[in-house]
Amino acid sequence: PDICHELLGHVPLFSDRSFAQFSQIYWFTVEFGLCKQGDSIKAYGAGLLSSFGELQYCLSDKPKLLPLELEKTAIQNYPVTEFQPLYYVAESFNDAKEKVRNFAATIPRPFSVHYDPYTQRIEVLDNTQQLKILADSINSEIG
């Protein structure tokens, strides 16, 4: 099942450069993220919090710790079968969230989304016909 998940679920997405870079950022933040809190470094990544051994390791003097710079994080390789030799440290948890949010906003999207409060659904707007319908709907509500 895992190989099917990887091949069918992830491989097609990784063929898109922007998504592949985002997955690297995900790895070093959501899975293996560290951040400063006062004078200490804290783990917030799920991969760290669920592995006592790697949690101890990441807070020791063994791995390399670098400031969280997403342009570098996006192209950083990582091992999946051993402890990470390198972790990125955000100035704070909010700093990490803001940096990821800003990076995600730079990923090109050939569509927009719109929340329809009447149907309580999110609609994908990926052609001019859908945009015209939305504009007409807004126009009728205003006018």
**Beta-strand relationship, 40-43 and 121-125:** unpaired
What values do phi and psi take at 64, rounded to 5? -85, 135
**Domains along the sequence of the chain with CATH:** 2-105 (1.10.800.10), 112-142 (no CATH)
pLDDT for position 39: 95
> 5, 15, 71, 140: which is the annotated catalytic residue?
5
> 6, 50, 69, 98: which is the annotated catalytic residue?
50
* Residue 50 structure tokens: 């669920």
* Residue 84 structure tokens: 């990470």
* Residue 55 structure tokens: 């949690």
pTM of the model: 0.68
* Residue 132 structure tokens: 């015209």
Residue 49's Cα: distance from chain center in Å?
Answer: 18
Model confidence band, residue 9 (pLDDT cutoffs 50, 70, 90): low
Residue 83's Cα: distance from chain center in Å?
Answer: 21
What values do phi and psi take at 6, rounded to 5? -65, -50
> 6, 10, 92, 137: which is the annotated catalytic residue?
10
Task: Tell me the binding residues.
Answer: 5, 10, 31
Mean pLDDT of 5-13: 57
User: CB of 84 within 8 A of CB of 51?
Assistant: no
141 annotated active-site: no
Rg (CA), the chain: 20
114 annotated active-site: no
Task: Tell me the binding residues for Fe cation.
Answer: 5, 10, 31
> 18, 23, 31, 123: which is the annotated catalytic residue?
31
CA dihedral sign of residues 50, 89, 96, 93: positive
CA distance 53 to 38: 24
pLDDT for position 70: 92
Model confidence band, residue 24 (pLDDT cutoffs 50, 70, 90): confident
Average pLDDT over the chain, rounded to an integer: 86
Residue 52: which residues within 8 A CB-CB, separation 6 or more? none
For residue 59, pLDDT over 80 is answered with: yes
User: CB of 44 within 8 A of CB of 97?
Assistant: no
